[in-house]
Structures are given as structure tokens and as C-alpha cells.
A and B are shown apart, each in its own frame.
Chain A
Amino acid sequence: MKAHPAWRDAVIAAIAVIVVLAIPLFHRSPAFEDFVIRLSAMALFATSLNLLVGNTGMVSFGHGMFYGLGAYAFALTMQMTDLSLPVAAVLAVLFTTFAALCVGAICVRLSTDYFAFITLAVQMLFFSIIISWQSLTGGDQGLRGGIPRREIFGFELASQLHLYQFCTVVAVLGLLALRHITTSPFGQTLRMIRDNENRVSFLGVVLWQARLRAFTIAGAFAGLGGVLAALFVSGAYPELADWPNSGQAIFAVMLGGINSFLGPVLGAMILLALNDVVTRFTEYYGLVLGIVILAFAVGLRRGVLDFLRLAWPGRAR
């Protein structure tokens, strides 16, 4: 893999932010702004999962837990304390990071299949705790009552445009940080672990430590995505931490391309766009989505960006 100068990524990120922020100046479309807000949360969620799946070769079925945890931690902090939004968001992400560290400490020593199953089990345990701890979480109704005091540095996030700008900036900064981690020596180590864990181990890398670090970082960024999701729905729902949601992230990763950094973002875009377009025409969303997924899985046999990279080697990033 070529070395990617950090400044090049930063320039691309800056251009992306400017373009996305400029769009509402020319054309206001609530549906589009909604789409970008949801995409920002899901892009962080899916890209953080790909740090595990594509980069390290750790297939986690329970990543939704940290997405849900970030959302609940943030929404509860906002509802129960007088802390300002940035402080609450940072606390929520820190809390999620700590939770990911604890869950990871239990899970990362297991080999591939068992790792997938234990992450699923831990997530489902977390989900049943949300459902049964009604006094705190509101049970299966979700956390209602909204998120109060949604302003940050004079921005009123209850306004859709401001939320749009806020989510765009946070998501792009988050993706940039993840990109930096992926291209760092630590990121290279993770890819080496994926390709041949025995040799990496001979080189003196402590496998479980590196894996635990990756798991914790991925959990942290999923938590950040959860914070954005909580802002969007103004609350938190158990579905955010349920296993179909983890499945969505896996599909985003697989559809977009597991070996390309922006693959999961593209995959998230495809899934969200499909959802928006198809539900407008038919109630049988699953039927259409299933056929599209089958076409990708059986036809391309890899994600879109990975496919493009194979078709035009050297061109796509």
C-alpha cells in the first residue's frame, strides 16, 4: 500500500466539508439534509466497524452495542444533568470507549468465529438490559422526552440546517481521525495481523493488545456515531443497539468495499438511499433490498469500491 501523506487526506476532507456545507446555500432540500445527517451517523458507525472487519480481520457482530451505548449515554447525560452539549458528547464517547475496552478485554482473545458470536451475545445482553431496565431507559418504548438545550457555540441544533452543518463537520473530522489511524504504523500493524497473525506475533507484536486497542478505538467512533444518531432522533431507542442494526453496518461495509477506506461510507450511502427511494414506491423494502444485496454478493462478489479498484488498478484510492 502506498504511503498517504496526512495533508492530502486533510485537504480532501476540507474540500468535502466545504462542498457539503455549500449545498444548502444554493438549494434547500429538507430530504437531502435529513439524508446527510443520517449518513453522518451511519458513516462513522460503518467505517469504525471496518477498522475491525476490513483492517484487522475481526468480524464483530455486536458493533451496534457501542452505537446504541453512545446514543443512550449522550441522551441520558443531556436529560439528567445541566452539562453543555459538547461536554455531554465527550463524556458519552469516553463512556463508550471505556465500555468497549471492557467488552474487548473479554472478547478479543477468542478466535474468528467465536469472536463473532461472543460480540453478538454481549450486544444482545446489552439489548435485553436496555429493554428490562425501564426506569432508566424507558424499555422498549425508548428514551423519550427529547434532548434539551441543543445549542453549541451559538448554534441551535434544533434547526435542521445547523444540525446538518454540525453533523457534517463532526463526521468528516471523525472519518479523518479514523483515516489517520488506518494509515499510521498502528494501522499497518493491524493489517499485518489480518494477513498473518503468526508472523506478526514473531515480530514481537502482542496480538491481543493490538486487537484490544483496535476494538476500543472502533467502539469509541461508533459511540460518536451514536451521539449524532441521538441528536437526529432527539432521544435513543433500543433498536439502535439491536442486532439488525449491527447487520446494517456489516452490509454497508460489505456493499461499499471492505478494503477501501471510503467503502463503508459509500455502502452506507447506498443503503440509506435505497431505503429512501424504495419505501416511497413499495412497502416491500426487504424484497428489493434483498435482491440488490444478492446481485452484489453473487454478481460482484465484493464491495463496489473494491470492485472498481480491481477493474481499474492504480486509479481509485
Chain B
Amino acid sequence: MDLTALGVCLTTSACVVTQATSGLIVGMLLFLVAAGVTLIFGVLKIVNFAHGTFYMLGGYVAYTTLNVTDSYALAVLSGTLATALFGVLFERFLISRVYGSNVLMQLLVCYAVVLIFDDVVKIVWGPEFHAMGMPPAFQVPPLFIAGGVVPPFYIALIGITALIAIVLSLGLSMTRIGKTVRAAAINPQMVSALGVNTTLLFAIVFAVGGGLAGLAGALAAPVRSLSPGMGFSVLIESFIVTVIGGMGSIAGALVAALLIGLVRGFGTIGFPQFTDGLIYIMMIIILLLRPQGLFGRRS
């Protein structure tokens, strides 16, 4: 524990800016993953333990696309679309078979997929770590904001994820499909009785959720390294976000993801050994005081 270092950091604008932007990056990427988890849970009442795998696949597909085409935009697009497709296949061929069965059966199916694809990635891309490197467009000197160093890619990243958050929430509240999704979250039988094709709807939800995770993986690839099993820690964190924010709440996921990002950003200065511990303590306190999460509805 190093509270003096934390105190010094909090009183220096440079340190605050640096830590806050890195915290925001972590938070916004986490939001993309957790938004998928919470969307899928909200509509299908399935806790998707394989969501980390989507994130990983998004990163790897983007890595290969960038190597082949040299275009980061194409890389992000292909990573997103590939995982969206993967989400649909996963839902149609595996998850749809365990709807309504024990939660543990769903966990088992998801974990099997995690195991299989960790090894598939090892076979295709090798067990070693890969670094994507900064896309050429962002290989420019960093900006200095109030004395803090901020790479331009970070700003682009925060901008893109914020845009997605807005599109997602507007899409859910304004568009017809978004309204159907929200209705299905409340009463799927009624939605189905009203003539909505829920099979298609569920596949779409998995496509969007999976695509968001793949997008997060593709966006994170330049700042983090790629390795088989990289989905594991992201999965745990996105669950924490979902629980703290409230299962099924997109706004809750955003707030909780930013909260965790900032705790990570500043926690590494104050409690370098115990940042994870801080986050688990936060989760325990929330579960005890407000089990439904910050923005969740009491069931």
C-alpha cells in the first residue's frame, strides 16, 4: 500500500490526466464487453460465460486482417463481424439446446466453448503472445493535456466507444427492434404471442452482444497483447461490471465499467499489489447493500 504516492498523484494534474485516461480506456473497453453480457442476460436470461472468447476472437481476427490488408478500419470491422457471426452460430447450435435447463448446464456448455477456442487459437495463431502494434494512422507523437501524456489512439478509442454507447442506448430506446428487444426482456412469451419471431430476435441479440465483444477485442489489440486465454480476465471483469451495474442494465454497465476503470487507473498507484482485491471488495459491498446492482430492478 502506498497512500502517499496516491496522494501525490491526485494533486499533480499530469498524473491525474494520465491515470484517468488509462482508466477510461480500461473502462470503455470493459463496457463494450459487459454491454453484451448484460444484453444477453436481460433478454435470454443466459449468463454467457463464453463472452471472453468472443473478445479474444475479435482481437485475433483483427490482428490477421491488419497483417493482410494493412487497414486498421478493415481489421476492426472484420473482427466485429466475425464475432457477430460466431455469436449467431454459438446461439443457434449450442446455447439454444440448453434454454430452460439448469444454469450449471449452460455454464458447462459455455466453458466447453472457452476451452475449445483457447486451443483453436493456439493451433491457428500459436501459443505465444502477439503484439499488433499501433496502427500507422496513430503513429504520431502523443498529446500533452495539462502536463499528462495522452496518445492520440486513446482519444480515438474513447471517442469510438462513447459513440457506440450512445448508438446502443438510442437504438434500444428509439428503434423498433430495440423496443422489441426490451419487450422480450420483460416478457418473451407475450412478445412471441404478438407474432415476433423470437428465434430470430435471440440470434440478433447474440450477434449484437458477440459483435460488441469482438469490437472491444479489436480495439484493444493495439494497446494490449494477444494471447490464448486472454478472454478469461476480461470475462471475470465484465461479470463484475454487470453485477455492480445491475444485470440487464446498459446504463448500469457503463457507470460500473467506468468506475472499475478508474479504480484500476488510480489503484495501480495506491495499491499496486491489491488492485484486483479492491474491485472484489467493491463487488461484495454492492452485492450486500444493493444485490440488484446500482441500476438494476428489484426482481
Task: Count chain B CB atoms within 10 A of each CB in A59, A125, A251, A302 and give the residue with the most.
Answer: A125
Given known contacts A284-B119, A290-B114, A293-B115, A124 and B109 CB-to-CB distance under 8 angstroms: no
Query: Would you call B115 and A290 a contact (CB within 8 A)?
Result: yes
Query: Would you call A291 and B280 a contact (CB within 8 A)?
Result: no
Query: Would you call B119 and A254 a contact (CB within 8 A)?
Result: no
**How far apart sit A112 and B291, CA to CA, in the bound complex (Å)?**
11
Query: Would you call B280 and A121 a contact (CB within 8 A)?
Result: yes
Given known contacts A254-B105, A290-B114, A121 and B119 CB-to-CB distance under 8 angstroms: no
Contacting residue for A286 out of B104, B109, B119, B243, CB 8 A: B119
| Interface residue A80 (Cβ < 8 Å from any Cβ of B) | no
- Interface residue range, chain B: 35 or more
Q: Which residues on the A side are within 8 Å of B112 (C-beta)? A: 289-291, 293-294, 297
A133 to chain B, nearest CB (A): 9
**How far apart sit A284 and B283, CA to CA, in the bound complex (Å)?**
35
Query: Would you call A297 and B98 a contact (CB within 8 A)?
Result: yes
| Interface residue A273 (Cβ < 8 Å from any Cβ of B) | no
1/0 contact trace for B149-178 toward A, CB 8 Å?
Answer: 000000000000000000000000000000
| Interface residue B274 (Cβ < 8 Å from any Cβ of A) | yes
| Interface residue A162 (Cβ < 8 Å from any Cβ of B) | no
| Interface residue A114 (Cβ < 8 Å from any Cβ of B) | yes
Query: Would you call B240 and A287 a contact (CB within 8 A)?
Result: no
Q: What residue in chain A is nearest B247 (Cβ atoms)?
A: A113
Q: Which residues on the A side are within 8 Å of B102 (C-beta)? A: 258
Contacting residue for B94 out of A116, A250, A286, A298, CB 8 A: A298
**How far apart sit A114 and B123, CA to CA, in the bound complex (Å)?**
37
Task: Count chain A CB atoms within 10 A of each CB in B104, B113, B122, B239 and give the residue with the most.
Answer: B104
Q: Which of A151-181 contact B (CB under 8 A)?
A: none
**How far apart sit A297 and B49, CA to CA, in the bound complex (Å)?**
15
Q: What residue in chain A is nearest B299 (Cβ atoms)?
A: A111
Task: Count chain A CB atoms within 10 A of each CB in B108, B113, B236 and give the residue with the most.
Answer: B108
How many contacts A-B (CB < 8 Å)?
Answer: 111
Query: Would you call B104 and A291 a contact (CB within 8 A)?
Result: no
Q: Which residues on the A side are within 8 Å of B107 (C-beta)? A: 250
| Interface residue B77 (Cβ < 8 Å from any Cβ of A) | no
| Interface residue A73 (Cβ < 8 Å from any Cβ of B) | no
| Interface residue B284 (Cβ < 8 Å from any Cβ of A) | yes
A94 to chain B, nearest CB (A): 25
Q: Which residues on the A side are within 8 Å of B122 (C-beta)? A: 284
| Interface residue A301 (Cβ < 8 Å from any Cβ of B) | yes
Contacting residue for A290 out of B47, B116, B287, CB 8 A: B116
Q: Which of A242-285 contact B (CB under 8 A)?
A: 243, 247, 250-251, 253-254, 258, 284-285
| Interface residue B137 (Cβ < 8 Å from any Cβ of A) | no
Q: What residue in chain B is nearest A292 (Cβ atoms)?
A: B112
Query: Would you call B236 and A124 a contact (CB within 8 A)?
Result: yes
Q: What residue in chain A is nearest B278 (Cβ atoms)?
A: A128
**How far apart sit A122 and B240, CA to CA, in the bound complex (Å)?**
12
Q: Which residues on the B side are within 8 Å of A294 (C-beta)? A: 94, 109, 112-113, 116
Q: Which of A123-145 contact B (CB under 8 A)?
A: 124-125, 128-129, 131-132
Query: Would you call B123 and A243 a contact (CB within 8 A)?
Result: no
Query: Would you call B273 and A59 a contact (CB within 8 A)?
Result: no
Q: Which residues on the A side are within 8 Å of B291 (C-beta)? A: 110-111, 114
Task: Count chain A CB atoms within 10 A of each CB in B101, B103, B273 and give the residue with the most.
Answer: B273
| Interface residue A190 (Cβ < 8 Å from any Cβ of B) | no
Task: Count chain B CB atoms within 10 A of each CB in A121, A125, A298 and give the residue with the most.
Answer: A121
| Interface residue B136 (Cβ < 8 Å from any Cβ of A) | no
Q: Which residues on the B side are within 8 Å of A247 (C-beta)? A: 111
Q: Which residues on the A side are within 8 Å of B101 (C-beta)? A: 301
Q: Which residues on the B side are within 8 Å of A111 (C-beta)? A: 291
Q: Can you list 18 residue pairs at the A/B interface with Cβ under 8 Å?
A: A110-B291, A113-B47, A125-B277, A125-B281, A128-B274, A128-B280, A251-B111, A254-B108, A284-B119, A286-B115, A287-B115, A287-B119, A290-B111, A290-B112, A293-B112, A293-B115, A298-B109, A301-B98
Other A-B contacts than A132-B273, A251-B111, A253-B104, 19 sampled, CB-CB below 8 A, are: A117-B287, A118-B284, A118-B288, A125-B277, A125-B281, A250-B108, A254-B104, A258-B102, A286-B116, A287-B116, A289-B112, A290-B115, A291-B116, A294-B109, A297-B109, A297-B112, A298-B97, A298-B98, A301-B98
**The 3 nearest A-B residue pairs measured at CB:** A290-B115, A290-B116, A286-B115
